[in-house]
Amino acid sequence: MRFTKMHGIGNDYVYVNLFAEKLPLAAPDLARIVSNRYKGIGGDGLILIGPSERGDARMQMFNADGSESEMCGNGVRCVAKYVYDHGIAKKPELRIETGRGVLTLQMFAGSSGKAERVRVNMGTPILKSADIPTALPGDPPVNQPLVVGDKTISVTCVSMGNPHCVTFVDELTDAWVLGLGPQVEVHAAFPRRVNAEFAQVLSRTEIQLRVWERGSGETQACGTGACATLVAGVLSGRTDHQALIHLPGGDLEIEWPDEKEVFMTGPATEVFTGEWFPEV
Ligand SMILES: N[C@H](CCC[C@H](N)C(=O)O)C(=O)O
């Protein structure tokens, strides 16, 4: 199976071009095997780029544990870069079909003619608790107490197509991300599990963020998580409608100008291509 390894600020996936390739295994099994950093290709999951009747291409995303997610912010920028650079559709504005509908992306090419940065209209955040989905009260659920083990934390929940639970913290420690993250992910308040964001507000326009992702563990960055965090920052009065989000792998610019659609701008990078041999 031919594949391309790409990342958006260190959030790395194995990309397969279904315009040209057939999958040798069912996608969830393939995601688990290729994501393994010792025995596979290595990545946070698997992303399929295929034909769409509603856009220039369709993205399907699987976490490292094989579960499918509705959306991936860093992934959709990479899919657009792939579609643009490989000539599937070389247009300054692309439409990519995802689990949360068809998104519009603006491409910024460098001097090589290849796409370097991408601005994505991520759509309107979903703020009704039943739709996020979470059992926590409030539409939207802002600053809600959540009992995790012997701790009670205060969380704000947002869906960007996929579910997020944002905790604002004074200091970003492993105890939060690696200790609480896995417990929040599978907490009974989240019937479809959840991505867990831990955010330190540096100023009204700057946030430091680490994310424990549903199905993949801590990643270098999470695009939908950065969007959900800015929305949570606005809803809880902590930030302005635009902020620079610093993640371990790099920075994303997030805007929620009129509290309708969220815009995310950041880089997308192709690292290498290869051929993977299924073990028999
Ligand atoms: N890293 C991705 C999100 C993956 C979300 C996935 N872990 C889920 O189960 O929803 C991003 O850049 O948005």
Q: ipTM, 2 decimals?
A: 0.98
Please say if 165 is a catalytic residue.
Answer: no
Please say if 72 is a catalytic residue.
Answer: yes
Distance in angstroms between the alpha carbons of the first and the last residue of the chain: 14
Does the fold of domain 129-260 match that of domain 2-123+266-275?
yes
Sign of the CA dihedral 244, 68, 53, 102?
negative
- Rounded to the nearest integer, the mean pLDDT of the chain is 98
pLDDT value at residue 135? 98
Per-residue pLDDT of 106-140, as tens digits, reads: 999 999 999 999 999 999 999 999 999 999 999 99
pLDDT value at residue 279? 80
Chain-centre distance for alpha carbon 116: 18
3-state secondary structure 141-175: CCCEEEEECCEEEEEEEEECCCEEEEEECCCCCHH
List strand residue ranges (DSSP E) for the chain, in order.
Answer: 2-8, 11-17, 45-50, 57-63, 68-69, 93-98, 101-109, 115-121, 144-148, 151-159, 163-168, 195-203, 206-213, 217-219, 242-247, 250-255, 263-267, 269-275
Per-residue pLDDT of 185-238, as tens digits, reads: 999 999 999 999 999 999 999 999 999 999 999 999 999 999 999 999 999 999
**Ligand 1 close to Cβ of residue 69 (< 6 A):** yes
* Residue 273's pLDDT band (cuts 50, 70, 90): very high
**Fold of the domain built from segment(s) 129-260:** Diaminopimelate Epimerase; Chain A, domain 1 (3.10.310)
Please give the model's pTM, rounded to 2 decimal places.
Answer: 0.98
Which of 22, 48, 36, 16 has the alpha carbon at shortest distance from 274?
16
Summarize the annotated binding site as residue ranges.
Answer: 11, 63, 73-74, 162, 195, 213-214, 223-224
Per-residue pLDDT of 37-79, as tens digits, reads: 999 999 999 999 999 999 999 999 999 999 999 999 999 999 9
Q: How many whole angstroms from 94 Cα to the centroid of ligand 1?
A: 21
Average pLDDT over residues 15-30: 98
Output the residue whose Cα is nearest ligand 1's atom 3. Answer: 72
pLDDT value at residue 280? 63
CB count in 10 Å sphere of residue 92: 11
pLDDT value at residue 126? 98
Domains of the chain: which residue ranges?
A: 2-123+266-275, 129-260
Instruction: State yes or no: pLDDT of 162 exceeds 80.
Output: yes
- The answer to whether the beta carbons of residues 110 and 136 sit under 8 Å apart is no
Architecture of domain 2-123+266-275: Roll (3.10)
Q: Best mutation site among 69, 100, 160, 229 for ligand 1, i.e. most ligand atoms within 8 A of its Cβ?
A: 69
Instruction: State yes or no: pLDDT of 27 exceeds 90.
Output: yes
